[in-house]
Amino acid sequence: MKTRDLSELAARNLREAVLRNSLTTLGVAVGVASLVAMLSLGIGLQTLASQRLTRSGLFDAVFVTSQRNFRGPRRPPAADSAHKQESRALDEGVRQQLAKLSSVTEVYPQIRFVTDVRCAGKSETTSVLGLPDSSRSSGAFEGMTGAYFSSPTADEAILQIEFAKVLTDQPPALVGKDLTLRYAQRAALQKSAAGDSSLLENMMGSTMPGGISIVPREKTLRIVGVIESDPSAGIGGFGGARVYLPLRTAEQLQAAQPDDFEAFLSGNPGKPSYMALTVRVHSPKDVPQVETAIKQLGFATFSLLDATKSLRLVFTVFDLFLGLFGSLALTVASLGIMNTLVMAILERRREIGIMKALGATDRDVRSLFFAEAGAMGLLGGFFGVVLGWLIGQALTWGTTIYLHRQNLPGVKISYVPWWLGLGAIGFAIIVSLVAGLYPAARAARLNPVEALRYE
Amino acid sequence: MPTAPMFIQAESVSREYRLGETVIRAVDDVSLTVGKGEFLALLGSSGSGKSTLLSLMAGLDRPTSGAIRVRERSLAELEADELARYRRETVGMVFQSFNLLPRMTLEENVELPLRLAEVDRHDRESRVGEALERVRLGARRRHHPSELSGGEQQRGALARALVNRPAILFADEPTGNLDSVNGEQILLLLREIQDSLGMTIIMVTHERPLAERFANRIALLSDGRLVSGGAQG
Q: Which of B164, B193, B220 is the last residue of a domain?
A: B164
pLDDT score for A406: 82
Asked whether residue B16 falls in the same domain as residue B61, the answer is yes
ipTM summary value = 0.92
Integer Rg of chain A from CA: 35
- Out of B55, B81, B112, name the one closest to residue A358 (CB): B112
Residue B95 lies in a domain: no
Q: How many domains does chain A have?
A: 3
pTM of the model: 0.67
CA angle B80, B85, B91 (to 5 degrees): 115
B117 interfacial to chain A (CB closer than 8 Å): yes
Q: Are residues B208 and B105 in the same domain?
A: no
- Strand B65-70: give its sheet, edge to edge: B22-35, B6-19, B65-70, B73-74
Residues B35 and B83 in one domain: yes
Nearest to A1 among B93, B99, B116 (CB): B116
> Which residue range is the domain that position B27 belongs to?
1-90+166-233
**Residue A218 has what pLDDT?**
87
Tell me which residues of chain B, numbers 55 to 84, contact chain A at a CB-CB cutoff of 8 Å.
Answer: 55, 58, 60-61, 80-81, 84
Task: State whether residue B25 sits within 8 Å of chain A by CB.
Answer: no
Same-domain status, A325 and A367: yes
* Average pLDDT for chain B: 91
Q: Quick: pLDDT tens for B114-125.
A: 999 999 998 999
Residues A23 and A65 in one domain: no
Residue among B64, B1, B79 nearest B30 (CA): B64
Indicate whether A200 and A318 sit together in one domain: no
Does the beta-carbon distance from A362 to B84 stay under 8 Å? Answer: yes
Question: Do B84 and B113 fall within a single domain?
Answer: no
Closest-CA residue of chain A to B104: A12
Q: Which of B164, B179, B209 is the last residue of a domain?
A: B164
Which residues of chain A are under the pLDDT cut of 50? 70-84, 192-195, 197, 203-209, 235-236
Q: Based on the fold, state whether residues A127 and A264 are members of the same structural domain.
A: yes
SS3 A198: helix
User: Closest-CA residue in chain A for B90?
Assistant: A359
CB contact under 8 A, A358 and B80: no
Among A237-251, B15-29, B219-233, top mean pLDDT goes to B15-29
CA distance B82 to chain A (A): 9
B105 and B68 both lie in a single domain = no
CB A289 within 8 Å of CB A103: yes
Spell out the residues 6+ positions from residue A171 whose beta carbon is closer than 8 angstroms to its own: A145, A159, A161, A164, A165, A226
> How many independent structural domains does chain B possess?
2
Domain end marker among A265, A300, A335: A300
pLDDT at position A308 is: 65
> How many angstroms separate the CA atoms of A245 and A221, rounded?
9
* B99–A354 C-beta distance less than 8 A: yes
A134 and A179: one domain?
Answer: yes
Nearest CA in chain A to B55: A449
Residue numbers of the domain that contains A75: 60-104+283-300
When CB atoms are compared, the residue of A1, A357, A361 closest to B115 is A1
pLDDT for residue A74? 46
Which residue in B194, B190, B125, B182 sits closest to B152, CA to CA? B182
pLDDT at position A207: 44
B73 and B188: one domain?
Answer: yes
Residues of B whose CB is below 8 A from A360: 84, 88, 116
Strands across the sheet containing A104-109: A104-109, A276-281, A61-66, A299-302
Cβ pair A174, A271 in contact under 8 A: no
Judge whether A260 and A131 are in contact, CB under 8 Å.
no
- Residues B16 and B111 both lie in one domain: no
With beta carbons less than 8 A apart as the criterion, state whether A242 and A160 touch.
yes
What average pLDDT does the segment B206-226 reach? 92
Give me the mean pLDDT over the B14-43 stretch: 92
Are the C-beta atoms of residues A328 and A405 closer than 8 Å to each other? no
Does B13 share its domain with B81?
yes
Domain match, A66 and A49 both: no
Query: pLDDT per residue over B73-101, tens digit each?
Result: 899 899 999 999 999 999 999 999 899 99
Q: Are B160 and B122 contained in the same domain?
A: yes
- What are the chain B neighbours of A356 within 8 Å (beta carbons)? 60, 84, 87
Predicted local distance difference test score (pLDDT) of residue B38: 92
pLDDT digits (tens, 9 = 90+) for B33-49: 999 999 999 999 988 99
Which CATH number characterizes residue B70's domain?
3.40.50.300
Query: Are B157 and B230 contained in the same domain?
Result: no
Residue A306 counted as domain residue: no
Residue A134 lies in a domain: yes
Q: Using the beta-carbon criterion (under 8 Å), do B87 and A358 form an inter-chain contact? A: yes
CB pairs under 8 A between A and B: 65
Residue A133 lies in a domain: yes
Residues 6+ apart with CB under 8 A from A131: A149, A158, A231, A232, A235, A236, A244, A245, A246, A247
- B86 and B172 co-located in one domain: yes
Identify whether B186 is part of a domain. Answer: yes
Cross-chain residue pair B87–A357, CB shorter than 8 Å: yes
Domain identity same for B7 and B59:
yes
Q: Chain A within 8 Å of B202 (Cβ-Cβ)? A: no
